[in-house]
A and B are shown apart, each in its own frame.
Chain A
Amino acid sequence: TQLLEQSPQFLSIQEGENLTVYCNSSSVFSSLQWYRQEPGEGPVLLVTVVTGGEVKKLKRLTFQFGDARKDSSLHITAAQPGDTGLYLCAGNGGATNKLIFGTGTLLAVQP
């Protein structure tokens, strides 16, 4: 069974601080995605990474896929209250359209 563990589970920080969220598995994934979900809404895709070692940047967000394609990280620089939400990583294990979602990291950025 493929599992994705995220850490930390909860994070409460002040505006302007930096943070990193980790997504780890013992399984290899062909691609990995990060989503952000706000209360009462569905997750919204932030990025897809497909190559081991790949780094992608989206404004203040930096995403990295591990060399072995088993783990990923999300780094936010100078967090803002608008970054508040549930961050989910999700991996695709093979030639199927089924995503395995991580346990989630709930981020609260205080103004």
Chain B
Amino acid sequence: KAGVTQTPRYLIKTRGQQVTLSCSPISGHRSVSWYQQTPGQGLQFLFEYFSETQRNKGNFPGRFSGRQFSNSRSEMNVSTLELGDSALYLCASSMPIRGRLDPYGYTFGSGTRLTVV
């Protein structure tokens, strides 16, 4: 089956701009989670969407937002970009059972490498 698809793979933006990243989960997976990965902070949880609703949210400012569509595809948006937002943004899909983590775990996409200059 097709994996998790993230677009674009690479993005260069200037400070103050906004950006939208896209994630298409594995067919049948209804949960999509977003993570930010940086060398200094590692993988940090941004938010999780399930059935078009945000179920969990990490400790990121309101400039980071997301949404999920009826076909489970998800987008995340970062407004007023800062240099510190440069990172690899990873999307992961899973099929939770009764709200718990799918025992088969997350399937991650290859990520979007965002560089803010």
Q: Which residues of A contact B (CB under 8 A)?
A: 30-31, 33, 35, 40-45, 48, 50, 88, 90, 92, 95-104
Contact A97 B110 (CB under 8 A): no
Contact B105 A95 (CB under 8 A): no
Contact B42 A103 (CB under 8 A): yes
Q: Mark B7-32, 1 if CB is under 8 A from A, else 0.
A: 00000000000000000000000010
Interface size bracket, B side = 20 to 34
Given contacts A45-B107, A50-B103, 15 further A-B contacts (CB under 8 A): A40-B113, A41-B111, A42-B90, A42-B109, A42-B110, A42-B111, A90-B43, A96-B55, A97-B48, A97-B96, A97-B101, A98-B48, A99-B101, A101-B43, A102-B42
Q: Which residues of B contact A (CB under 8 A)?
A: 4, 31, 33, 35, 42-45, 48, 50, 55-56, 58, 90, 92, 94, 96, 99-111, 113
Contact B110 A40 (CB under 8 A): yes
Give the residue name and chain of the A residue nearest to B10 (CB).
A40
